[in-house]
Chain A
Amino acid sequence: MRRVYLDHAATTGVDRDVLEKMTPYFSDTFGNPNSLHSFGREAEKAVTSSRDAIAKLLGCKPNELYFTSGGTEADNWAIKGIYTAYKNKGNHIITTKIEHKAVLASCQRLQKDGAEITYLDVDKYGTVDLEQLKNSITDKTILVSVITANNEVGTIQPIAEIGRICKERGVLFHTDAVQAIGAVDIDVKRDNIDLLSLSAHKVYGPKGIGALYIRNGVKCDRYISGGSQERGMRAGTTNVPLIVGMAAAFEKAVLNSEENNKKLIRLRDELIQRIEAGIPNSYLNGHRINRLPNNVNFCFEFVEGESLLLMLDMQGIAVSSGSACTSGSLEPSHVLSAMGVPPEIAQSATRFTFGRENTMEDIDYVVECLKKNLMTLRAMSPLFKQEKGDAKHV
């Protein structure tokens, strides 16, 4: 059976070149970079050159980068570390209603400790309101955290403008760029970013490795206590092969971004166009232009997302559904809710995220299967009023 992976926003497979670069650091060059002997020095050299490479891609200094276990840890560290370090100055944090759970749950945790959190609204395309941001900043505000590009609907935020506003008002700015690396042009100095979260596995790097950029001069509490790794800020024996893999993956993603993105945008726009032209009662979620090059997200009225996902899965197509009917009541995606999508429509949200290996033929197959499955599920749905002989209804 044909298999089409369209869930690259969930994770990607490790690129063969990346894997090749990582491999020697598992068994051959296995030293602990903290050791003074030659084994340690060899490993340290690899970590240093990886750090240098990533710093160059982001426009920061190598000593502003701290390796973490992934994007989740980087987000937790940024939010909690800044709060601890600055809570005597103020207890107010501004974020948005469409952050990744790693940021939202960290903020909710801090609320229990006395933090005040403002969750900014978004418009129907998922873009934050800069006026609301400006009006929300008070003398108690210490941090603004806005996701660079949303993982569900792909909307890209005006990061440089947010950075400028934060700089003018003297508050720190954190952004979760996990989905954005390679897709969005990022320069932390130019864009006035104080903290930035990264993860390797969304761009063909290994899982379980990420990084937090913390601008020099920003006080951020250490997150994991122990040894002196990461300049005393994040203890734990350095994961050399994964760091090497992350640097290689980021380099490939950023240095080839123009070419990659051009190809992805062609696939993305073709799928959007084919769905809109061929499938009635389908609604694109997210911004049409300010959108991740690989992201397509649609609601298909009268069907439920999980059913569609499983039907596509039986045909070898891997997608992601935004909703899950769990624990007795439906929990529609917090992102779609914030965008004002009604719950009964949000329930059908389906995300298709492209990657390097996808082709136009994949789109032919996906559209064909989508039409067939939607016809089946809609015919089964008591919500769908079939008008017999009306070809407009799929």
Chain B
Amino acid sequence: MYSQKVMENFANPKNVGVIEDADGIGTVGNPTCGDIMKMYLKIENDVITDAKFQTFGCAAAIASSSMATQMIKGKTIDEALTITNRQVIEALEGLPPKKIHCSVLAEEAIKLAIEDYRSKKKT
């Protein structure tokens, strides 16, 4: 059902955890409707220097979180904002159709975390 790449990222997810002094945090999903993803970003001069996540969810959600955090590290926030769930799925060598929505969460969590960073910076 899952690709080798998904299983690798599920079995050994990268960037699991919390960034205590995160510059941006984004949470998507809720426990009654399925997966929940919480994304923590460390940002210096608009460059993402660190990304960590906590995920409650299926293997697709965990693998997407792992892959998405790897993809945005070192990117500027503008570059990170262009990353779509399609690209995450591609990097994971595909997801079953029923699991596409789990990867959308990763894209949304990144966007929310960057929004959070920007709104904090303004004030």
Shortest Cβ gap from B67 to chain A (Å): 15
A343 within 8 A of B: yes
**B102–A302 contact, CB under 8 A?**
no
Could you give, for residues 377-392 of chain A, a 1 whenever the CB lies within 8 Å of some chain B CB and a 0 otherwise? Answer: 0011111000000000
Inside 8 A of A326's CB, which chain B residues have their CB? 98-99
Is A382 a contact of B34 with CB atoms below 8 Å? no
A383 and B55 CA atoms in complex are apart in Å by 9
Determine if B55 and A343 form an interchain contact, defined as CB atoms under 8 angstroms apart.
no
Task: Name the prevailing secondary structure of the B interface residues.
Answer: mixed
A318-350 vs B, Cβ < 8 Å mask (1 yes, 0 no):
000000111111100000000000111001000
Interface string of B53-89 (1 = CB under 8 A from A): 0111111111000000000000000000000000000
Contacts of B32 in A (CB 8 A): 330, 342-344
Q: Is the CB of A380 within 8 A of B36?
A: no
Q: Report the Cα distance A306→B61, complex, angstroms.
A: 11
Complex Cα spacing A347 to B99, Å: 16
| A310 in contact (CB, < 8 A) | yes
Find chain B residues with CB under 8 A from A302 CB: 56
Interface centre among A302, A324, A326, A327 (most CB of B within 10 A): A326
Our pick among B13, B54, B102 for the contact of A381 (Cβ within 8 Å) is B54
In the complex, whether B101 has a CB less than 8 A from a CB of chain A is yes
Contacts known (A302-B56, A310-B59, A325-B58); A330 close to B34, Cβ less than 8 A: yes
B12 to chain A, nearest CB (A): 11
> Which of A324, A328, A330, A382 is the one whose CB lies under 8 Å from B38?
A382
In the complex the two chains form, is B54's CB within 8 Å of A304's CB? no
Q: In the complex, what distance in Å separates the CA atom of A311 from the CA atom of B35? A: 17
Task: Decide if A303 is an interface residue (CB 8 Å cutoff).
Answer: yes
Answer whether residue A255 sits at the interface, using C-beta atoms and an 8 A cutoff: no
Which residues from B are CB-within-8-Å of A380? 13, 16, 54-56, 62
Q: Are A382 and B61 in contact (CB under 8 A)?
A: no
Residues in B whose Cβ lies below 8 Å from that of A343: 31-33
The residue in chain A whose Cβ has the minimal distance to the Cβ of B96 is A326
User: A343 CA to B34 CA in the complex, in Å?
Assistant: 9
Residues of chain B contacted by A379 (CB below 8 angstroms): 16
- B27 close to A314 (CB less than 8 A): no
The answer to whether A307 has its CB under 8 Å from any CB of chain B is: yes
Most chain B C-beta atoms within 10 Å of own C-beta, residue among A304, A306, A311, A342 = A304
> B55 contacts which of A310, A330, A381 (Cβ < 8 Å)?
A381
Contact (Cβ within 8 A) A382 B58: no
B117 within 8 A of A: no
The residue on A at minimum CB distance from B55 is A380
Q: Is the CB of B31 within 8 A of A344?
A: yes
List the A side residues contacting B38 at CB < 8 Å.
382
Partner of A329, one of B33, B55, B62: B33
Alpha-carbon distance A324/B33, docked complex (angstroms): 11
Set of chain B residues within 8 Å of A304, measured between Cβ atoms: 35, 56-58, 61
Q: How far is the CB of B34 from chain A (nearest CB, A)?
A: 4
User: Which chain B residues lie closer than 8 Å to A327 at the CB level?
Assistant: 98, 101
- B11/A303 in contact, CB under 8 A: no
- Residues from chain B with Cβ under 8 Å of A324 in the complex: 58
Give CA–CA (A325, B7) in the complex, Å. Answer: 17
Mark out the residues of chain A between 245 and 286 whose CB falls within 8 Å of any chain B CB in the assembled complex.
none
Rounded to whole Å, the gap between the CB of A289 and the closest CB of chain B is 31
Q: Cα distance A91–B66 when bound, in Å?
A: 54
Q: What residue of chain B has the Cβ atom nearest to residue A314's Cβ?
A: B11
Bound complex: CA of A307 vs CA of B58, how far in Å?
5
Is the pair A307, B98 in contact by a Cβ cutoff of 8 Å?
A: no
Q: Give the chain A neighbours of B34 by CB distance below 8 A.
A: 325, 328-330, 347
Chain B 23-51 against A: per-residue CB contact (8 Å), 1 yes, 0 no? 00001000111111110000000000000
Question: A375 → chain B, closest Cβ, in Å?
Answer: 13
Closest A residue, CB atoms, query B56: A381
B 1-19 to A, binary, CB cutoff 8 A, 1 in contact else 0: 0000001001101001000
A382 to B33, CA, bound (A): 15
In the assembled complex, the CB of B104 is this many whole angstroms from the nearest CB of chain A, namely: 9
Nearest CB to that of A310 among chain B residues?
B59
User: Cα distance A325–B37 when bound, in Å?
Assistant: 14
Please name the residue on chain B nearest to A328 by beta carbon: B101
Determine whether the beta carbon of B33 is less than 8 Å from that of A383.
no
**Which A residues are in CB contact (< 8 Å) with B13?**
380
* 7 A-B residue pairs with CB within 8 Å: A304-B57, A307-B57, A324-B58, A330-B33, A343-B32, A381-B56, A382-B56
Taking A304-B58, A307-B62, A382-B37 as given, write out 5 further A-B residue pairs in contact, using a Cβ cutoff of 8 Å, ordered by the A residue number. A304-B61, A327-B98, A329-B34, A330-B32, A343-B31
4 A-B pairs with the lowest CB-CB distances in the bound complex, closest first: A344-B31, A330-B34, A382-B54, A382-B38
